[in-house]
Structures are given as structure tokens and as C-alpha cells.
Amino acid sequence: MPGTSTFHPPTAPRPCGPSYGAGMDIRLDGKTALVTGGSRGIGLAIARAFVEAGASVMLSSRRADGLAEAKQSIDGPNGEHAGAVAWHVANAGDPAQARACVAATVERFGALDILVNNAATNPYYGPMVDIDTGRADKTVRVNQTGYLEWVQAAWHGAMADSGGAVLNLASIGGLSVEPGIGWYNVTKAAVIHLTSQLAGELGPRVRVNAVAPGLVKTQLARALWEPAEEAISRRLPLRRIGLPEDIANAALFLCSDAASWITGQTLVVDGGALSMPSGGIS
């Protein structure tokens, strides 16, 4: 009909990779990255994007089997990336294991140029006023204190001498209010401030930035998106829930030399959710 049109939203993000349009070639050749929570979801997507852009990557998480599967998926069917990927088991909330993982990365690849703090936990869903101390402490230990401890390990283990970049995974929940995951979001708000603070302290040697994803189709967030994916998508300006590759694209940019004059910033990648009165989710 005249005056009407049909909008067909994209079903997938632009593929991760080194090339992003005329005049912009994002590469990480010669760089070494360490990605926590790298065995699945956003962490795995970031690791894959980094390897495809020329980096070597150490994957870290709590389970050896998941890490082995993740490495195999990045290696490629012909093993073309096999030499660029390694893995090391580490609990993101244990500072001694963080230091050991950083040391293993330097030993394996000879350097550590990029740290991606991606591992997170959310053991409680419900009103924040009813959360028990045990689960509250666990969330802070992994999502907040753990991020600081991994940066400390990277700084003292490599970056104080050679410089580098840190990327922290925050959340739009740290910039808004949502029911059910309030305490998780408090830790993500802390990550946003931690990012600014560390950028001020570690510059000019190390750049520190964050990405604040909206709702992304990951295992961690399954309880939020799976029951009402279509309804949530209709409320978002871009009409779809995010995919891990959406966040990986932003991570690749912020950790590359294309962002060499950016530090202390939090980049929101949410399909427009924060532009909506209810944050596009609830």
C-alpha cells in the first residue's frame, strides 16, 4: 500500500573479522590476549574474533572439557588456527589462579597484551532485599573483586613493562534498574566505575575500557530471554536480542589500535534497549 513499508530486521550481526568497511582494517597481529570465561558465549565469540584478526589467545574458565571444546571450535576444520589458541583452567574468583593463568599465558606466547575480563556469575534471582550473604558475596567475588584481581595479575605479570589493553564486560543493568537481578547489576555498576578508576591509574601504559551489553542470547542469560524472546525483540528499536558476535565486534575495536585514544569508557551495545522507557526488557 502507498505510504507503508515492511521492516525486516537482520537475523545476525555483521560477521566478526578484521575488515569493517572502506579505510578501516582492524587487526591484532602479533598481539596476545587472555579471555576469562572463554569457553562459551560472549567470551568464546570474543576469542574467535581476536584469533581471526591475527591474535594469539589464551582461553580460561573453570572446566577443562569446555575449554578443550572451545579451542577445537576456534582451531577450524583444518586446524588453521591451532597454534594461536591455548587454554588454562582457572577459577575467575581465585587471585592465585589468576596469577598462574597470566604466567601461563606469558610462558606460552611470550607476552600478554590484552586482558578480557568476561567471566561472571549470578547465583541469585529475586528481590535484592532477600538475597543471602553467601550468594551476595559470591557474586561480588567473581564479578567485581575478581575483575580487579585479574587486572592486578596482568599488570604485575606483564603490562606494567610492555603496556596493553584491558576490556571489562559490564552490562546495561549497571546503568538501569531491572527486577530479579538487582544485585548482579550492582556488581556491573561497580565494573563501570572500576573501569574509569583503573584507566586513570594505569594510563598511559594500559588502556582500560568496558562493554555494557544488553540482553544477549547466552547460557547465563537464558532465563531472561528464552521465555519471551519475540515479545522482547518487538520492544527493542533494532527488533532482535543480541548475539555474542555483536559484543565481540565491539570488543575487537576497543582492544585494537583503532581505539588507541579511547580509555576509561563504557560502550553500550544493546540494540537500543536503554533508549526505551523500560530498558526494552522488563
Residue positions annotated with a catalytic role: 184
Q: To the nearest 10°, report the CA torsion of 208, 145, 49, 22.
A: -20
Q: What is the helix (H) or strand (E) element at residue 133, kind and residue range?
A: helix 133-140
Residues whose CB falls within 8 Å of the CB of residue 52, separated by 6 or more in sequence, listed in order: 16, 17, 18, 81
Cα gap 138→252, rounded to integer Å: 29
Cα gap 154→241, rounded to integer Å: 33
- β-strand partners of 254: none
Q: How many CA atoms lie within 13 A of 165 on its CB side?
A: 23
Q: Which amino acid is at 197?
A: Q
Q: What is the helix (H) or strand (E) element at residue 19, kind and residue range?
A: none
